[in-house]
Structures are given as structure tokens and as C-alpha cells.
Amino acid sequence: MTTTYIFRYALIAALATSAVSCKKSLDLQPISDATVNNSYSTATQAEAALVGAYNTFTSSDYYIWDNIFTTDVRSDNHYAGGDNPDFFQYDNLNLTATNSKVYGDWSNLYNGILKANTVIQRIPLITDPALTGARKAQIVGEAKFLRAYHYYQLVKNWGGVPLVTVPVTTTEPADINTPPASVAEVYNQIITDLTDAAAALPDTYGSDASVNKARATKGAANALLAKVYAQKPDRDYAKVLTYADAVISSPANYALVTYSDLFDGNHFNNAESILEAQFNGTTIGNWSPSLLLPPSITNTTWRKFITPSQDLAKAFDAEGDVVRKNQTMLFETAPWVDEYWSAKVNGSVPFPYKQRNLTNGNSTSRQYMLRLGDIILMKAEALNALGRTSEAATALNLIRKRAGLANTTASTQAEMTLAVEKERRLELAQEGQRWDDLVRYGRAETVMNALNEVNLVTGQKVNYNMTKEKELLPIPQTERNRNPALTQNPGY
């Protein structure tokens, strides 16, 4: 792997405070002037290092909003909006290897892996008696979960990527010019890490939801395993079902909540949440809503980024899905021309609405990294793939009932496959899932090339020219320049 860029980031520092509980460690702030040799000798430093590893979820563009470009904007769910040419490449499916967001996201994810690798390697060496063997195992389990989560983003976006599982402390070409591992090898590492994590992690860390939803738990590891076994090319739906059921029956007592409660800003860390990034709106704020929400909320009149698509709005309407549509998009007059919604200024335009809480340009809104509704639909998908279609309908109808919809009419396996795909689209729009679903179902080319999107300004229909090769992102050219062992993905 080319680690030259990644290793410019400083490692997590020591904090001169006493040993803290698991909950209090969430408040520790990593410091940027430490070295590998002096940073890891106490229990407090171990907890601070772990906090630094979690920080990737709240500090990187990828997890704050770029993942919506790679999954929702790249699909039939949203348009790019704004004025950044690199964003429009996602929308139009004409990405290049020099796209700055492609490079930035690759770097964000490998930076997260660096931090996780450092924790995994260094924490077992600490001899401070305040750091028990059990807590050491938990910390390593949490870090392995984080590493697996980042590698999952990499493999589903780029395919085979360099597989690095130890911190690299040299810039020697022989050590950093690593060729990509195969897709199978990356998935195998992800599964190994998640299996280890599930064995080491508790169902909960106590009664405080702000801790249980902030940290990796056994439920989080099992939820990601369910998704991984479904997404990898040689999918195993028996294991998808096993891990989905483990989440559904977890002692953590995950449960569906009212759909609006998921996004209204008053029910963070709710019963349905398995893992979510923690923004407090002050020291850790989410800035993406200021770039997405309408003028009435942001008090700004410049064109916002990411616009729900005509096709997504029609999908909600065709299903009579008022509940989820109203939580996903907010229509408002826009003081600009929108090429897909209004060819005139002050037309009605929908705005992304799942992250809607904004104060002084900062927000407590967050994406769910994992939630139960997604896992129940994964269970329905697995049951149907295993020929248990009537049972799949039962799982699917749990989600439909929550949205105020009648039971599915799908009765055959083929009908149920499309019904689950559609339900996932309506349930999880704007949550970074759609592109992965289209690829997993083998329908990305069919769906994208069948879209009837017309530019209202030019009157021209958009031709996405979707091909199999475009299922993956290009390997960033900057990384290839640094690492000659990196090959480019086909089609780029």
C-alpha cells in the first residue's frame, strides 16, 4: 500500500489523566504530537488511542457525506447539485482517476485503518495493571471491528485493494509499494476481524445508550457480518440469516422505532440504532447539513449539494409511501434553477431531509452506521434466496407496517427479490445503501440505463452509459503514482 500520504497523520497521544471508565473514555480527546514510542504505556493512553480510532467516523469526509455520493448520488436516488465538477462525475457516471473526492475518500479510509492497526498492535504490549486483560481484549476487538468496517467500504467501492494489517513505520519502497489483494482476500480479512470482534465484544457496555451506540458491540459485529456475507461475490445467505438473527435476538434488545423518530433529532441512540456516529454539535459537529438543507433552515441562498431524484420521488408515490417520503425529502422553493426539478428560479425543489438539525452551521445529525431496519431487510433477502419466500414476506412486512403500508403482494421468489430491493430503496434512501444493493442484485446496469432523467434546461435525456466496469470506482491516480504496484480497475 502507498502509505506515504497516510502516515503524515500523527498517531494518537498520551493524556495525562487518571484511568477512566469505558463511558468516560468517550470524552477523551486525542492529541497530535505523540510518537509511537511514547504514546502507549498506560490504560488512559490506550483508551485515548481507541477514541482516536473512532474519530474517523466523525472527522472524515467519507463518513460525513461522501459515502452518500458513492451510493445514493451514483445511483437512481439522488442528483449531485452544487457546483463541484468532481461531484457531478458521480452523478453522471463518468468518474476519472484524478477525481479529488475519490482520492480523498481512499485516503480517509486508509487513515482509519492506520489508527486501527496501531491500536491492535500496541495495546496488547501495555503493562499498566489498570488496563485489565479483559479490557485489552475488548479494545483490540473494537479496533478490529473498525478496521473491518473501513475495509468493507474499500472493497465494495474499489474491489481488490492493498491489504495492510500492521502499522508501517518505514517509507522503504519494498515495504509500502504493495500490490492490491484480491477481492476474496480482502473479504476474508474482514470476516476474520469481525469474527474476532464478535467473540471479544460485549452485547452492551452498560445501560447508557450514548455509549452502547457509540462503540462497537457484538451486535454491531454480527450486523456487519450479515451485510458482508451478502455483499461479497460468493455470497452465503445461510450465514447472512444466521448473523441477522443474532442481531434480531440480541440481549441488547434492538427494536424498530417510529420511522420519524429515527431522524427528528430528538431520539438519537434509540433502540433501532446499532451503531451511529456521535456528534454533539459543538466540539464534534456535523457540517454536512449546512450544505444540504433548504434556505429556510440554513439561511443561505446558494445552491445546495445532493438533490433527491425524480425517480426516487416517483418510487415513493407509486407505493403510496408518504411516511418515508416525508422523512427523506423536504420540498421548498429554491432561488436557483434546478435542471431536473425546475427550469425557472423559485421552483419547487426537494432537499435531503434525513439530517435536518442545524444550529449556527453545525449539527448533531448523524448517519446510522448500522440499524435494525436494514438488518431485518437483509434477513428477508436471505430467507427468499434460501427458498423460504413466505417467511421473507413476514420479515418484509414488519418494515412495511412501520411505514403504514399494506403487506407485500409478492408471492414468488422472483417477485420477492424485487420487492425486497424496492423496500430497501424506500427504507434506506440517503443512508448510503442503494448502489451496493444494485450491484449485489446484479441490476446496476439495467436500472441506470433504463432511467428516464431529462435535463429541463437543455431538454436532453441523460445517458448514463452504465457498464459492468463502472460498478467500481477508479483507483486514485495519485496513489498509483506513488505505488507502481497498484493497477487500475478495468474501464478507467
Are the C-beta atoms of residues 464 and 311 closer than 8 Å to each other?
no
Count Cβ atoms below 10 Å from residue 492 Cβ, excluding itself.
15
User: Any idea which residue has 489483494 for its cell?
Assistant: 181
Q: For residues 328-333, give the mean pLDDT.
A: 98
Residue 105, all three cell numbers: 475518500
Flag the least confident range among 3-12, 249-258, 344-353. Answer: 3-12
Average pLDDT over all residues of the chain:
91
Per-residue pLDDT tens digits for 47-86: 999 999 999 999 999 999 999 999 999 999 999 988 899 9
| pLDDT exceeds 70 at position 31 | no
Q: What is the pLDDT of residue 168?
A: 74
Are the C-beta atoms of residues 115 and 59 closer than 8 Å to each other?
no
Q: What is the pLDDT of residue 147?
A: 98
Q: What is the pLDDT of residue 172?
A: 60
- The more confidently predicted of residues 66 and 38 is 66
Q: What is the pLDDT of residue 27?
A: 39
Q: For residues 463-481, give the mean pLDDT.
A: 97
Q: For residues 413-437, give the mean pLDDT.
A: 98
Q: What is the pLDDT of residue 2?
A: 33
Using CA atoms, how far apart are residues 421 and 412, in angstroms rounded to an integer?
Answer: 14
Q: For residues 341-370, give the mean pLDDT.
A: 93
| pLDDT exceeds 50 at position 376 | yes
Q: What is the pLDDT of residue 437?
A: 98
Buried b or exposed e, range 110-148, using 16+ CB within 10 angstroms: bbbbbbbbbbbbbbeebeeeebeeebbbbbbbbbbbbbb
Count Cβ atoms below 10 Å from residue 446 Cβ, excluding itself.
11
Q: What is the dihedral of CA 431, 432, 434, 439, to 10 degrees?
A: -160
Using pLDDT thresholds of 50, 70 and 90, give the confidence band for residue 40.
confident
Per-residue pLDDT tens digits for 90-144: 999 999 999 999 999 999 999 999 999 999 999 999 999 999 999 999 999 999 9
Q: For residues 355-380, give the mean pLDDT.
A: 93
Per-residue pLDDT tens digits for 440-469: 999 999 999 999 999 999 999 999 999 999
In this structure, which amino acid lies at residue 140? V
- The more confidently predicted of residues 82 and 221 is 221
Using pLDDT thresholds of 50, 70 and 90, give the confidence band for residue 167.
confident
Percent of the chain with pLDDT over 70: 90
Q: For residues 330-336, give the mean pLDDT.
A: 97
- The more confidently predicted of residues 196 and 11 is 196
| pLDDT exceeds 60 at position 33 | no
Q: What is the pLDDT of residue 362?
A: 85
